[in-house]
Chain A
Amino acid sequence: MTALDKKPVLEVTNLTVAIAGGGDRANAIEGVTLSVMPGEIVCVVGESGSGKSVTSQAVMALLPKGQLSIVSGSIKLEGDELTTKSQAQMRAVRGMRAAMVFQEPMTALNPVERCGDQIEEVLEIHTDLDAKGRRARVLDVMRSVHLPDPEQMIDAYPHQLSGGQRQRVMIAMALVLDPALLIADEPTTALDVTTQAQILKLVREMQVRRNTGVLFITHDFGVVSEIADRVVVMQKGRIVEQGTKAEILGAPREAYTRMLIGAVPSLVPPDRAPVAGAVTLETVKLNKTYGARTLFKPAGRVVKAASDVSFQIRRGETLGIVGESGSGKSTVARCIARLVDPTSGRIDLDGVDIARMSERKLRPFRKNVQIVFQDPYRSLNPRRNVGQSIIEGPMNFGLSLDEAMTRARDLMGLVGLSPDALDRFPHQFSGGQRQRIAIARALAMEPVLLIGDEPVSALDVSVQAQVLQLLDAVRKKFDLAVLFITHDLRVAAQICDRIAVMQRGVVVETGRTVDVFANPQHEYTRALFSAAPGQGFGNRIGAGEVQKVPAL
């Protein structure tokens, strides 16, 4: 694949991009040097804030005006210097010779224009094909990205397509002019794992068939191991190291790379002893239906978000619910926390059915079930300091201010934060720290069941490992039952005693994590597992165990 005699498609040399006014650092990226050969996939990998997206924006001259500017270095596309080009000249480069695919297929497409027209627009601007020729070309490219029934889909609006199909349209739009360079900025991050697998396969196929050079930005080492030819590791705006996939993944030289790779949880679950505690939570044929008739609204499309969900969690046990978006896993969690009212079924908490309790009767039971949410930036009230957020719950249940503050201080220490930080506000903390605070707030209620609704999905992999360790440690310390919702099979493999796989509101398979991973019974479980990127990567038992991760 790599042909040494060929000229690189993209050559970035010593590129430095400055932040106007300076944030926490003067330069967004500093001295970045990398190249992409024709027909090569170069993965740029790093945590949030590492400058990987800025690098791609600089190449496309898409840096936000007045905020980021190139101060030195050169960017050569097929030997042609880009940094000195005007915006008008860059317009000819974009689309024709270099194209980009973005993360969010929902917002990257214009919602009020037909998909075909959006692809055609590229041709209209950059070529002198007539209408008929353009349409033929659009159909052609849509077929090549394996969109089903292109004759129909060319006239469809983006909302009529699934997320994966939209990303295919984006890729079609990027590739319709056969650019030499394709930049993909986290193109599969917003997609489900099975869709992600298809898109990765498509990118691979396009790059082989058209000999396109691909600069692929990602934070996911699974994806890297799936498609990369070469890997560039970035941290805080600098390149830590680069090399072939085998070099970086197999024998990383730098400690940071080793730490990143070491923090990726393994897909092979450790053998955990079955938990024999008393049953804390039992759901029996739990149903939640949306769209039923109400007083002022006729019955619309009825969606069964959860149907006949039954499972048990014992004291000290972690049950994982895994599934793709829309599978109903969050709905189940929210029913159990009584944030939404279940349509039917039972939720037995220590033997008491709370499914149909009125709000007033429910109040004493509220403290027993606590939830840690996905988004650390929205799960704390920005106007209240950390102490106020933590003591709110205990004081609702009659603790005095002093008692509550003592408890809050203890818990801050427990989750690894300084008790002095109680009078600070959420914006003064990083995502991982906020998630620790959210855990402290939940523990302050002394719950019997802790629900984690994708609690580590928004975190960088190294921070993720620490938070997972914390969750596991508090489970042990307080003998908690934990319901862990995740779409990430690697995380599920490492933290869950048992897992339940959900698809379209139905639990298709339940079992001990080891058994389900080793021998999935249901067809959907098998499809889900085989779609997980980087199957062979990091699959030693105990990989990703957190004690290897230095504190950040």
Chain B
Amino acid sequence: MSAEPNVTVAAAPPVAALPTRRQQSSMARAFRNPGVILGGVVILIMIALGAAAPFLGTINPIEPHTSGRNRPPGGEVTVRDDDGKPMKIVYRLGSDNLGRDVYSRVLYGARISIFVGITVAVVSVFAGLIIGLFSGYIRWLDPIVMRLMDGLMAIPAILLAIALVSLFRAGIGAVILAITIPEIPRVVRLVRSVVLSVREEPYVEAAITTGTPMLKLLWRHILPNTVAPMIVQGTFICASAILVEAILSFLGIGIPPETPTWGNVMAAGKDVFYLFPHNIFYPAIMLAVTVLAVNMLGDGLRDTLDPKLAKRV
């Protein structure tokens, strides 16, 4: 090898002459996926219904009207309002055993269900991400954290939720916490597995040898690899959180029964299910459609953002 110390090697090859196919960002691809479009549109409709509930001909969803109990859809009742004037109520989707309007309760219920779903998804993904990053990267921490997570996963999620709700005063905060905690170990495991494989990548090792501090290393080189699977996982958590919230409410251990949530509406209708199936039917339809939409969104995102995961699951 007889190159002179003055190194200009082999007549500088033309740089970046490689013809690269125009890379389409995976986000742009995701927004063309039919599952993402359909699921996204349905969720947006649900959010809009919840947000616009006061303007869609609803009445106070909490106020009982003893004279209008258990009316079928389309039933009417005349009540006196606060000023004593007579007021006609049309129960579009019937009324429950306290004379509350199922239509109003179902629309207002969308607010709570979707709020719970999204909050649980964001909080559990965020918490799981932080725990998973450190657990996957710091070797001595890993066995300790993972045994803790194993312990959490060994407790049935609903049972843990019941225990937590009974510890705190029943309310939306307690329900969110109760659903979030059992979800965290699942996120931690996923993040950790990504970290464990990425930390072996030569570019991460190169960053270690160039003295990159740990936090910067995690942020720059490892975290970006977890974003796609986290978005996907987040949607699935959202769907399951909406379901679990409904289950807890239905069992009467979640949000106080007068609050309109889909689970509470169904719980109120369960004793008279054979006579008045509408009490359970309409909230159940909303719940099923929402969960299906979130899952479709998640599947679509998974297929476009994280093709490897698509093969694995």
Contact = CB atoms under 8 A, between A and B. Distances in A.
A363 B211 contact: yes
A399 B2 CA distance: 34
B28 interface: no
A416 B8 contact: yes
A384 B211 contact: no
A415 B15 contact: no
A132 interface: no
Contacts of A420: 15
A430 interface: yes
Interface string A131-145: 000000000000000
B60 interface: no
B20 A427 contact: yes
Contacts of A472: 1, 3
A380 B220 CA distance: 12
A338 B143 CA distance: 22
Interface string B1-45: 111111111111111101111010000000000000000000000
Interface string A411-430: 00111111011001001111
Interface residues of B, number: 39
A468 B1 contact: yes
Nearest to B146: A296
Interface in B204-228: 205-213, 216, 220-221, 224
Interface stretch (A95-103, A298-306, A368-376): A368-376
A476 interface: yes
Contacts of B4: 473
Contact of B9 (A339, A363, A444, A466): A466
A444 B206 CA distance: 12
Given A414-B7, A420-B15, A495-B1, A438 B206 contact: yes
A178 B210 CA distance: 56
Contact of B12 (A294, A363, A417, A432): A417
Contacts, number: 140
B10 A477 contact: no
Interface in B152-203: 201-203
Contacts of A430: 18
A260 to B, nearest CB: 16
B88 to A, nearest CB: 62
Contacts of B23: 427
A418 B202 contact: no
A24 B19 CA distance: 6
A381 B8 contact: no
A473 B5 contact: yes
Contacts of A363: 211
B9 A415 contact: yes
A444 B208 CA distance: 14
A210 B154 CA distance: 61
Nearest to A375: B202
A494 B1 contact: yes
Nearest to B140: A295
Interface in B64-79: none
B212 A392 contact: yes
A371 B206 contact: yes
Contacts of A432: 13
B227 to A, nearest CB: 10
B18 A397 contact: no
Nearest to A421: B15
A370 to B, nearest CB: 6
B147 interface: yes
Closest 7 CB pairs of A and B: A393-B210, A373-B202, A416-B9, A366-B211, A379-B202, A472-B1, A473-B7
Interface of A: 23-24, 294-296, 337-339, 363, 366-367, 369-371, 373-375, 378-381, 383-384, 389, 392-393, 396-397, 413-418, 420-421, 424, 427-430, 432-433, 438, 441, 444-445, 466, 468-470, 472-474, 476-477, 494-495, 545-547, 549, 551-552
Interface of B: 1-16, 18-21, 23, 143, 147, 201-203, 205-213, 216, 220-221, 224
14 contacts: A23-B21, A337-B205, A338-B209, A379-B202, A379-B203, A381-B221, A417-B13, A418-B15, A420-B15, A441-B210, A473-B1, A473-B7, A549-B10, A551-B11
